[in-house]
Amino acid sequence: MTEAATLSKTAPGAAVQHFDVIIVGAGISGIGSAYHLGAQRPGTTFTVLEALDSFGGTWLTHTYPGIRSDSDLYTFGYRFKPWVGPPIATAAEILDYMGEVIAENDLARHIRYRRRIISASWSSADKLWTLEVAGPDGAERYTTNFLWMCQGYYRHAVGYTPDWPGMSDYKGRIVHPQTWPDDLDLKTKRVVVIGSGATAATLVPNIAGDCAHVTVLQRSPTYFVPGRNENELANVLRQLEIDETWIHEIVRRKVLFDQNEFTRRSVEEPEVVKAELLEGVKAFLGPDFDIKTHFTPRYRPWRQRIAFVPDGDLFQGIASGKASVVTDEIERFTETGLLLKSGETLDADVIVTATGFDLSVLGDIAFAVDGKPLDFAKTVTYRGMMFTGLPNLVWVFGYFRASWTLRADMIGDFVCRLLAHMEARGVRQVEVALRPQDADMKIGEWIDPEDFNPSYLMRNMHLLPKAGDKPEWRHTQDYWTEKDLFPTLDLDDPAFRYS
């Protein structure tokens, strides 16, 4: 095929655009996948379909004050593109980095913006996916041999806000960080931020200097890692004038080694790790602050994501008196703010609901296989990226305890290797299926809540595929095993069915 799409007429005035591979989404995963496909399979035709006006995904849609990564960019950045800035980066810095990847690798010509996929239908007879797409000028239709889903896992258009009693009575303004309004002026305003995760920890220090006062209202505490926003090893290597490519690889390996050790200790000696984390908070807030009530979680470290707080800015805001924290539950909204279950009231001109997001399974696209609607929750996952009964499709779902992009890079290698293997065998269809030895395997939820249990997963688990109790049939969340395993996966294992 030529680099341009193949056009085939299906009806008067209608054209179907065909590509060997279609990548869905131009966020951090989609851009990385496009790089790998272009670099490893230069003869493969592909396009990237993106619903938004530009690339970036999360880093484009989230515009609340201070939006930044909660993973270090030496591992959240791509393995093939050195990161040269501070470990914790702003959205603008991440977008610049992604823009450089696009420009340096001539990827812009492959990306089609303002294309929202309505439906995706697989035909076993034709060995093709057909996509119905809402484009900038009306309906479009695409066909492809292989779908590479990089659309993320939550809805960008609107965040999750619980339905509390009395919300309609409140006379102030309710804002979700995911849809931060351009006209919001917080000067002289009393602000309450509901939530205790990375978003609240980012937002609060970035508005504390503008508003009259900001209060963090949390139902329960979470763990944080405060520290300087720089990497000392990277600084030393730069003083030695080491090439940035080497620095990226060396620092990346050191960060991953340290993360692996921290994860191991969180499971094997959780009380020691807990004490270390709380000491980090105490160093900023002092011995008289009520750390036990406000910053001591009920769960062991790493059962939920742990956010890095650069330079302890959240705790500096609290120590200065510009911000405060209240640990309580909401009884109801009132005209002037919130009534808490303890009986305390919080008056607020603006209430920010940093309460998470809703999962979006496969981009909320209507999928069908041979005319039958797909029930994604009835499939079983193969290593968190392929699914029983779903041919010629791979989904990028990253790590919770390590950077998302680590897995996007690994899956990029896997897909390119799988496409080459199919080509060598002369087959056009691949899907995964349980093997005879899996007949008695226990089937359960996508992830074990005893291992990892953030609210956004727990309330949406019914939407996700099932998992088995063998490593092949679950997303293990174990980068340190998968980094060595993925390159050696046997593509002729009976779990792969070719035709």
| Gap between the Cα atoms of 175 and 35, Å rounded | 37
What confidence score (pLDDT) does residue 159 get?
A: 86
What confidence score (pLDDT) does residue 4 get?
A: 38
What's 197's DSSP letter? S
Bridging pattern class, strands 330-333 and 372-373: unpaired
Tell me the three state secondary structure of residue 90: strand
What confidence score (pLDDT) does residue 153 get?
A: 81
Round to the nearest angstrom and report the end-to-end CA distance of the chain. 22
What confidence score (pLDDT) does residue 246 get?
A: 97
Return the closest-CA partner of residue 144 out of 263, 259, 33, 48.
Answer: 48
| Gap between the Cα atoms of 80 and 405, Å rounded | 11
The string of pLDDT tens digits covering residues 415-451 is: 999 999 999 999 999 999 999 999 999 999 988 877 7
Bridging pattern class, strands 345-347 and 337-340: antiparallel
Q: How many residues belong to the chain?
A: 499
What confidence score (pLDDT) does residue 14 get?
A: 54
| Gap between the Cα atoms of 112 and 50, Å rounded | 6
| Burial of 381: CB neighbours in 10 Å, binned 0-12, 13-18, 19+ | buried
- Residue 415, Cβ neighbours under 10 Å: how many? 22
Single-letter amino acid, residue 330: I
What's 380's DSSP letter? B
Counting Cα atoms < 13 Å in the Cβ hemisphere of 92 gives: 4
Answer for the pair 486, 337: CB distance below 8 angstroms, yes or no: no
pLDDT tens for the chain, 499 residues: list them. 433 344 333 433 458 999 999 999 999 999 999 999 999 999 999 999 999 999 999 999 999 999 999 889 999 999 999 999 999 999 999 999 999 999 999 999 999 999 999 999 999 999 999 999 999 999 999 999 999 999 988 887 888 899 999 999 999 999 999 999 999 999 999 999 999 888 999 999 999 989 999 999 999 999 999 989 999 999 999 999 999 999 999 999 999 999 999 999 999 999 999 999 999 999 999 999 999 999 999 888 888 888 889 999 999 999 999 999 999 999 999 999 999 999 999 999 999 999 988 888 888 899 999 999 999 999 999 999 999 999 999 999 998 888 999 999 999 999 999 999 999 999 999 999 999 999 999 999 988 877 776 777 777 788 889 999 999 999 988 898 999 999 999 999 999 999 9
CA distances from 183 to 173, 175, 180, 354 (A): 12, 12, 9, 18
Answer for the pair 382, 432: CB distance below 8 angstroms, yes or no: yes
- Residue 299, Cβ neighbours under 10 Å: how many? 14
| Gap between the Cα atoms of 480 and 445, Å rounded | 22
- Residue 69, Cβ neighbours under 10 Å: how many? 26
* Residues 6+ positions from 363 with CB-CB distance below 8 Å: 24, 25, 117, 149, 151, 152
Proportion of the chain in helix, strand, coil states, percent, rounded to 5: 35, 25, 40
DSSP H helices in 152-243: 198-207, 232-239
What confidence score (pLDDT) does residue 453 get?
A: 63
Return the closest-CA partner of residue 262 out of 227, 224, 297, 301.
Answer: 301
What confidence score (pLDDT) does residue 197 get?
A: 86
Residue-range domains of the chain with CATH: 6-156+360-498 (3.50.50.60), 167-353 (3.50.50.60)
What's 472's DSSP letter? G
Report yes or no on whether pTM surpasses 0.85.
Answer: yes
**Could you give the angle at which helices 270-285 and 313-320 cross, rounded to 10 degrees?**
50
Angle at 468 between CA 465 and CA 471, to 5 degrees: 110
What confidence score (pLDDT) does residue 9 get?
A: 36
* Residues 6+ positions from 381 with CB-CB distance below 8 Å: 387, 446, 465, 466, 467, 473, 474, 475
| Gap between the Cα atoms of 343 and 237, Å rounded | 55
| Gap between the Cα atoms of 213 and 322, Å rounded | 6
| Gap between the Cα atoms of 179 and 162, Å rounded | 15
Tokens of 374: 């797909």
What confidence score (pLDDT) does residue 449 get?
A: 76
What confidence score (pLDDT) does residue 160 get?
A: 87
* Residues 6+ positions from 128 with CB-CB distance below 8 Å: 122, 143, 144, 145
Answer for the pair 349, 173: CB distance below 8 angstroms, yes or no: yes
Q: What is the DSSP string of 159-174?
A: ------TTGGG--SEE
* Residues 6+ positions from 3 with CB-CB distance below 8 Å: 45
Beta bridge partner(s), residue 443 = 468
CA distances from 440 to 443, 471, 495, 496 (A): 9, 15, 15, 19
